[in-house]
Structure 1
Amino acid sequence: MDDIAVLIPCYNEAQTIRKVVTDWKKELPEAVIYVYDNNSNDDTAVIAEEAGAIVRHEYMQGKGNVIRRMFREIDAKAYIMVDGDDTYPAEYGRKMVDCVLQKNADMVVGDRLSSTYFQENKRPFHNFGNSIVRASINFLFHTEIKDIMTGYRAFSFQFAKSFPVLSRGFEIETEMSIHAVDKNMQVENVVIEYRDRPAGSESKLNTYSDGMKVLKTIMRLFRTYKPLAYFGTIAAVLALLSVIFVIPVFSVYLKTALVPNFPTLIVCGFTMLAAILSLFTGLQLQNSVQKNRQDFEMQLIRLDHVRKDLEADYEK
Structure 2
Amino acid sequence: MPDDTYTFDDVSVVMGTYNEEAAIDTVLTDIAAVTDDRANVVCVDSSQDRTPEIAREHGATVVEQPPQGYGVAVHEAITTPDRPVVVTTDCDDTYPMERLPDFLDAINDGYDVVSGDRLYHGADAMPDTNRYGNIAFALLASLLLGERVHDTTTGMRAYRRRVIEDITWTENTGLSAELLLRPLARGYRVRELPIDYRERAGETTLDPLTGGLAIAKSILTVGVEERHR
Q: Please say whether Structure 1 and Structure 2 have the same fold, judged by a TM-score greater than 0.5.
A: yes
Partner in structure 1 of residue 65 of structure 2: 58
Partner in structure 2 of residue 266 of structure 1: none
- 1:80 aligns to what SS in structure 2? strand
Aligned mate of 1:35, from 37, 43, 51: 43
Aligned mate of 1:120, from 120, 125, 148: 125
Structure 2 portions without partners, runs of 5+: 1-8
Q: CA deviation at 1:146?
A: 2.0
Aligned mate of 1:9, from 1, 11, 16: 16
Cα distance in 2 for partners of 1:72, 1:193 equals 27
Larger Rg: 1
Residues 269-301 of structure 1, C-alpha deviation per residue, up to 9 Å, x if partnerless? xxxxxxxxxxxxxxxxxxxx2xxxxxxxxxxxx
**Percentage of pairs with the same residue:** 26
Instruction: Answer yes or no: is the 8 Å Cα contact 2:117–2:192 preserved in 1.
Output: yes
Residues 10-67 of structure 1, C-alpha deviation per residue, up to 9 Å, x if partnerless? 0110110011001000001221111111x21111000111123222223351121112
Q: CA deviation at 1:167?
A: 1.2
Residues 140-183 of structure 1, C-alpha deviation per residue, up to 9 Å, x if partnerless? 201223211100100001112123221122x1111112101111
- 1:88 aligns to what SS in structure 2? coil
Residues 111-133 of structure 1, C-alpha deviation per residue, up to 9 Å, x if partnerless? 1100141x111x21111100100
- 1:208 aligns to what SS in structure 2? helix
- 2:66 aligns to what SS in structure 1? coil
Instruction: Answer yes or no: is the 8 Å Cα contact 1:71–1:161 preserved in 2.
Output: no
State whether structure 2 residue 205 is matched by structure 1 residue 220.
no
Instruction: Answer yes or no: is the 8 Å Cα contact 1:3–1:77 preserved in 2.
Output: yes
Cα distance in 2 for partners of 1:28, 1:56 equals 22
Q: CA deviation at 1:222?
A: 2.5
Cα distance in 1 for partners of 2:15, 2:222 equals 26
Instruction: Between the two structures, name the one with larger relative contact order (CA 8 Å, sep ≥ 6).
Output: 2
Partner in structure 1 of residue 178 of structure 2: 175
Partner in structure 2 of residue 79 of structure 1: 86
Cα distance in 2 for partners of 1:53, 1:217 equals 31
Distance 1:104 1:58, change over 3 A: farther
- 1:140 aligns to what SS in structure 2? helix
- 1:190 aligns to what SS in structure 2? strand
TM-score, structure 1 length as denominator? 0.67
Residues 197-241 of structure 1, C-alpha deviation per residue, up to 9 Å, x if partnerless? 13xx111221110111111112212321223xxxxxxxxxxxxxx
State whether structure 2 residue 161 is matched by structure 1 residue 157.
yes
- 1:40 aligns to what SS in structure 2? coil
Instruction: Answer yes or no: is the 8 Å Cα contact 2:134–2:152 preserved in 1.
Output: yes
- 2:158 aligns to what SS in structure 1? strand
- 2:101 aligns to what SS in structure 1? helix
Structure 1 portions without partners, runs of 5+: 228-288, 290-316
Instruction: Answer yes or no: is the 8 Å Cα contact 1:110–1:150 preserved in 2.
Output: yes
Cα distance in 2 for partners of 1:140, 1:63 equals 24
Worse-superposed segment, 139-148 or 15-24: 139-148
| Alignment map for 1:243-282 (pairs within 5 Å) | none
Q: Which runs of 4+ in 1 moved over 3 A?
A: none
How many residues were matched structurally?
Answer: 220
